[in-house]
A = this chain, B = another copy of it.
């Protein structure tokens, strides 16, 4: 809390008071990037092979290649540098087996895209030197040099708070503590809610791709089977019925397939968003712990001053630094909230739209089947 570092002008971060309270300074031209085109590469004359993704930022529009381990390196740098101020969500899981399977590569790419997108949307992260390097290095040499430089960056961890300028009056420590408690509680209950949804989503996914379509298929087969039996009756004039019954049976087989394919179209995105939020909420834990520790230290301040361990000036510095930390946390929470509202609004709309399409598709298929029967 008392450490000092002469921060360079261009590296300073600003927080100002917006409509919703303290907010980061957002760029007018938001950064974005596309992760695409996974390719198998190899090293050491083919002894080692890996998957390389193409990352194209909207700034240069020039693709750079990165392996998963580069993303992991970036994650480490970002956590180290910004972790106490900006919770950096974990990367999608590492995996050893099945790394080269198409399905897995596609899913990992999608998740890396989601992670990158979230990092791009963060005003502090997206502006950082290391992030810019990752997205737009010109050649292998620049990348290597930049890497080494970032690894040696000394302005990391709690020191980040000394680079933050806040255009607002100092905060009362009691307010700071209350806010921190509130955020802690919110992220905890949201984490529970998200896990809850993920649980039921998983169960639902299994049912929709397993037993349910099998049942629709069996119903379809049973109709078609009855139809073939009816065809052997030798009774004249029942081809309309048998044809219609066969059509109905085939429709239920189609429904089986639609049901089995549906989760990929809707539940998938709902699950991925919540999966991402689970990671994000998880990363809040460490960030909040730093804030809580600082609050405790301030509380100890009086005792320390009595014991002669710190002087009055130090105490003033501590209160000032704690205030900056509290503003940072608020800016960060406000960033989180506005993203959360955007993300959940979007994913719920996608989910409901696809669900509607699903039910309507089935209804229209059944209508076609119904039309084949004779109206009496």
Task: State the A residues within 8 Å of B (CB).
Answer: 19-20, 182, 185-186, 189-190, 192-194, 196-197, 200-201, 203-204, 207, 211-212, 215, 218-219, 222-223, 225-226, 229-230, 232-238, 240-241, 244-245, 248, 333-334, 337-338, 340-342, 344-346, 348-349, 352-353, 355-356, 359-360, 362-363, 366-367, 369-370, 373-376
Please state if B207 and A222 are interface contacts (CB–CB under 8 Å). Answer: no
Additional pairs, 4, CB under 8 Å, beyond known A193-B226, A200-B222, A346-B376: A189-B229, A226-B344, A230-B340, A345-B374
Could you tell me the distance in whole angstroms from the C-beta of A255 to the nearest C-beta in chain B?
Answer: 9
Please state if B373 and A363 are interface contacts (CB–CB under 8 Å). Answer: no
Q: What's the Cα separation between A61 and B352 when bound, in Å?
A: 53
Please state if B238 and A337 are interface contacts (CB–CB under 8 Å). Answer: yes
Could you tell me the distance in whole angstroms from the C-beta of A229 to the nearest C-beta in chain B?
Answer: 5
Query: Residues of B contacting A207 with CB < 8 Å?
Result: 211-212, 215
Please state if B196 and A215 are interface contacts (CB–CB under 8 Å). Answer: no
Query: Residues of B contacting A356 with CB < 8 Å?
Result: 363, 366-367, 370
Q: What's the Cα separation between A359 and B259 when bound, in Å?
A: 13
Query: Residues of B contacting A219 with CB < 8 Å?
Result: 197, 200-201, 204
Beyond A186-B229, A190-B229, A222-B197, is A366–B337 a contact (Cβ under 8 Å)?
A: no
Query: Residues of B contacting A349 with CB < 8 Å?
Result: 370, 373, 375-376
